[in-house]
């Protein structure tokens, strides 16, 4: 079983790459951002709550996010592995994920960071915002706030996974295909 965490700032390409990797390695892709957006679209209470944070570029509270993620994993008992995209984003989430997987005799195989400079990411997100309709991609101040949230709360997870010997990084610059190739090579080297 391969369980991957795709790590990286907003716009690093986690979702794009996950959609290729899930096919290639037969994994279930779970994006907490996508799950929140689908809740918002369906006007669920969870969506309503998440929207108030997402609209500002703030993280949604841990427990809500952890409960949603765990429910999604439980919906896929036959999965051969998972790609976690956009989760964990805080130390509390990472610890909860480890504990949850351990109960199921599962564990994270690797955390792979997609690296790119902030200015490149801002340009990518503003471009994406033109077609995605995502309001959090259309306003540079919100984008910068998402980076701040990342630096403050998510970046420390580098240390968390490095201590477990599970942190790897790959350049997120280049063509989509070239980056998929880098990731594929790395994932193949895990087993
Ligand atoms: P994303 O699609 O991954 O860029 O996520 C969009 C937004 O959803 C983030 O800016 C957060 O507001 C929220 N979100 C997604 N994943 C998480 C998470 N693991 N923890 C807290 N908030 C999250």
> In the chain, what are the domains?
2-190 (3.40.50.300)
Helix boundaries (H) for 26-152: 32-41, 45-54, 62-74, 91-103, 118-132, 140-149
Q: Which residues of 146-175 are buried (b: 16+ CB within 10 A; e: fewer)?
A: bbebbeebbeebeebbeeeebbbebebeee
Q: What is the pTM of this model?
A: 0.96
Cα–Cα distance for residue pair 82/107, rounded to 1 Å = 10
What pLDDT does 147 receive?
Answer: 97
Residue 191, pLDDT above cutoff 80:
no
Q: Are 116 and 11 in contact (CB under 8 A)?
A: yes
Residues with Cβ within 8 Å of residue 90, at least 6 apart in sequence: 59, 62, 153, 154, 157
- Give 189 Cα–ligand 1 centroid separation in angstroms: 29
- Give 36 Cα–ligand 1 centroid separation in angstroms: 8
Q: What share of the chain is helix, strand, coil (3-state, %, to 5)?
A: 60, 15, 30
Q: Are 83 and 21 in contact (CB under 8 A)?
A: yes
- Give 147 Cα–ligand 1 centroid separation in angstroms: 11
The per-residue pLDDT of the chain, averaged, comes to 97
Tokens found for residue 34: 């996508």
pLDDT bracket for residue 112 (50, 70, 90): very high
User: Is the distance from the beta carbon of residue 13 to the nearest atom of ligand 1 less than 6 Å?
Assistant: no
The best mutation among 39, 54, 66 to test binding of ligand 1, ranked by most ligand atoms within 8 Å of the C-beta, falls on: 54
pLDDT bracket for residue 123 (50, 70, 90): very high
């Amino acid at each position: 079983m391969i369980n991957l965490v795709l790590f990286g700032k907003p716009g690093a390409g986690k979702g794009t790459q996950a959609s290729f990797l899930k096919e290639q390695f037969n994994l279930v892709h779970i994006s907490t951002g996508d799950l929140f957006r689908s809740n918002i679209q369906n006007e669920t209470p969870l969506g309503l709550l998440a929207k108030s944070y997402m609209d500002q570029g703030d993280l949604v509270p841990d427990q809500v996010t952890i409960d949603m993620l765990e429910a999604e994993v439980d919906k896929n008992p036959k999965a051969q592995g998972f790609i976690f995209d956009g989760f964990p984003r805080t130390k509390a989430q990472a610890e909860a994920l480890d504990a949850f997987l351990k109960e199921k005799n599962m564990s994270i195989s690797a955390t792979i960071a997609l690296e790119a400079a902030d200015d490149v990411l801002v340009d990518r997100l503003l471009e994406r915002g033109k077609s995605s309709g995502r309001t959090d991609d259309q306003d540079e101040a919100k984008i910068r706030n998402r980076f701040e949230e990342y630096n403050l709360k998510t970046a420390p997870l580098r240390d968390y996974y490095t201590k477990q010997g599970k942190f790897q990084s790959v350049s997120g610059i280049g063509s989509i295909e070239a980056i998929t190739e880098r990731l594929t090579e790395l994932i193949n080297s895990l087993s």
